[in-house]
Amino acid sequence: MAGTAEDPPVTETQDPRNRRWENTHQRIYEVALKLFEDQGFEQVSVGQIASAAGVTGPTFYAHYPSKEHIVMQLPTAQEMQLLIATQPADQPLAQRLRNAAPMWFALWSPEYREALLTRWRIIATTPSLRTRAADFERQTAGLVAQATSEPGSTLSAADQIVINAHLAAFTTAMLDWAESNGTKDLATVVDAAFAAVQGMGATGN
């Protein structure tokens, strides 16, 4: 759901231009989240974010395609491939997805988890973002499909349905977690959502 808390730390060996880019990216992110929390997502414009971050409009768009992308961030294809690779390929796809989730959560630092909770709280309280979350969900499902398919092949329609259903369940679980302000255990909420999806499949059989 990745210039934010999920980016690797900037090291002294990086090119100064890269450090400046990372610093600007992070500054835009932090300023935008503060504005969203204080004023509401819909009430904040890209111009306001750029001005508060001390950058121009074009500089903002060089870092983020839209203000929605500050809040809703996609994992990378590499992240999905590495995560899926932790699961035995001979397991049913649904079980691989269910088992991979807690392994992913275990990789999160406290700072990343808090940043993610902040973003999902904003999504949960903004109707337009809840709707847009479905678009990001479908894009993430595409990354998972790539990670679970053999090179040069495509997944079956049944497997694509399994992935889409689990990503929809994941989004619902994340919203539930955010609406609890993080008081619910995320791994438990997500596992229950995945179990419900798998239970529906068993019922269909």
Instruction: Quickly list H helices, 12-124.
Output: 16-39, 46-53, 57-63, 68-71, 77-84, 93-106, 110-124
pLDDT > 90: what percent of the chain? Answer: 79
Q: Which residue has the tokens 């929605």?
A: 68
Between CA 109 and CA 105 the distance in angstroms is 9
- pTM of the complete model: 0.84
pLDDT of residue 9: 40
- Domains along the sequence of the chain with CATH: 16-70 (1.10.10.60), 72-204 (1.10.357.10)
pLDDT of residue 86: 92
pLDDT of residue 203: 52
pLDDT of residue 201: 62
Between CA 116 and CA 186 the distance in angstroms is 11
Spans of the chain, pLDDT less than 70: 1-14, 201-205
Between CA 71 and CA 32 the distance in angstroms is 9
